[in-house]
Homo-oligomer: A and B are copies of this chain.
């Protein structure tokens, strides 16, 4: 089998000049984001928008969450991204409304074509629709859509689309049951 041509991969133009400039500025921008006090959600929304993100109202993104390329992030009202989550959005990551991304989740919108000797960088989008919950430590891979209302269990590895209002779990993630939601708010404790 022929060896990969990493030299060709390295020589390839992967980002436009404008994007390279944004990436350099974001090195500093990400530090400001990271060091902002935890309750300053409004500041971080504003800061991400400054770097090109589309961020809805009341979005809660925690300071230790890592947004790789803010200009490739779109996130709707009332959604949240938890601590130490990694949004590796080389391609566009679109998150709907009222979606919850828990701590240490990895959303990966980048890959390589490993059948091509030059291992070209690909940037397939990821879509996480309204009312979903991506639980702690889960992984959502390139070119995946997590449909409305789905729950992706803790540490699941999602490599293909998740149907709506379905709970998935495992590596690779498989449906384990439908998600039912009671019409009324329950009383706990």
Contact = CB atoms under 8 A, between A and B. Distances in A.
Contact of A98 (B6, B141, B151, B153): B6
A89 interface: no
13 contacts: A1-B165, A2-B183, A3-B97, A3-B131, A4-B98, A6-B98, A27-B38, A86-B104, A100-B112, A115-B180, A120-B188, A169-B172, A170-B172
The residue in A27, A141, A171, A183 that gathers the most chain B C-beta atoms within 10 A of its C-beta is: A171
Interface in A91-122: 97-98, 100, 103-104, 106, 108, 111-120, 122
Interface of A: 1-8, 10, 27, 38, 58, 60, 78-80, 84, 86, 88, 97-98, 100, 103-104, 106, 108, 111-120, 122, 130-131, 133, 135-137, 139, 141, 149, 151, 153-157, 159, 165, 167, 169-172, 179-186, 188
> In the complex, which of the residues A3, A6, A111, A141 has the most CB atoms of chain B within 10 Å of its own CB atom?
A6
Complex copy number for this chain? 3
A113 B98 CA distance: 15
Contacts of A165: 1
A180 B179 CA distance: 39
Contacts of A155: 139, 157, 171
A120 B184 CA distance: 12
A115 B180 CA distance: 6
A43 to B, nearest CB: 17
